[in-house]
Amino acid sequence: MEVSVYNIKGEDTGRKVTLNDAVFGIEPNDHVIYMAVKQYLANRRQGTHKSKERSEISGSTRKLGRQKGGGGARRGDINSPLLVGGARVFGPKPRDYSFKLNKKVKALARKSALSYRAKENSVVVLEDFTFEAPKTKQVVELVNNLKLSGKKLLFVLKESDKNVYLSARNLEKVNVQPVSGMNTYNVLNANVLVLTESALAAIDNNLM
């Protein structure tokens, strides 16, 4: 599949690049996409939730009523989960939600996500660019030149570029990532994938 190369003014340079079918043209595997997105979201969870259980509530341990004959549950002391202000039964505890996936599974998930974007014609290739200083206005002009305003965009650069990152940081629908930081969730969360030429070559090298 061939796509045109644009410059930052939104003009077609007349050159074309070929998207590697082994990366952008595979039959997407929905299950590995699900696993990769699940892992990404799970790894973001802090897992610091906590509620007090019966042994952690401050209160008297005196038995409030007789064991039998009260006509209700055997509720014990005032910390009983049956009473208002009592403890919670099997409440949440701090835990680590992260889990691991094999490298080949994550690579297949990224290829599947990229293939979905390519099938939807939602891949734009740009000439390599940088900014002399961080200015949000420059990114806004770039998005308008490409006629992509109002869409969620993922800009993928070969390497981290501080000026480009800071220029796009205040824009709600624009995300900038280096190739090393590109993941399945970010690709699928964007309406359009904007790749620089060097980033496209790096993606081919990483996923082949």
Interval 178-190: pLDDT, tens: 999 999 999 999 9
Q: What pLDDT is attached to residue 1?
A: 81
| Total number of residues shown for the chain | 208
Q: Give the residue ranges of the chain where pLDDT is below 50.
A: none
Which domains are seen in the chain, by residue range?
2-29+101-207 (3.40.1370.10)
Q: What pLDDT is attached to residue 76?
A: 87
Assign 3-class secondary structure to 82-113: CCCCCCCCCCCCCCCCCCCCCHHHHHHHHHHH
Tokens of 135: 């200015």
Note the pLDDT tens digit of each residue in 106-150: 999 999 999 999 999 999 999 999 899 999 999 999 999 999 988
Strand pairing report for 2-6 and 12-18: antiparallel
| 166-to-138, 153, 176 alpha-carbon distances in Å | 11, 15, 9
Q: What pLDDT is attached to residue 64?
A: 86
Q: What is the spatial distance between Cα 110 and Cα 190, in angstroms, rounded to a whole number? A: 13
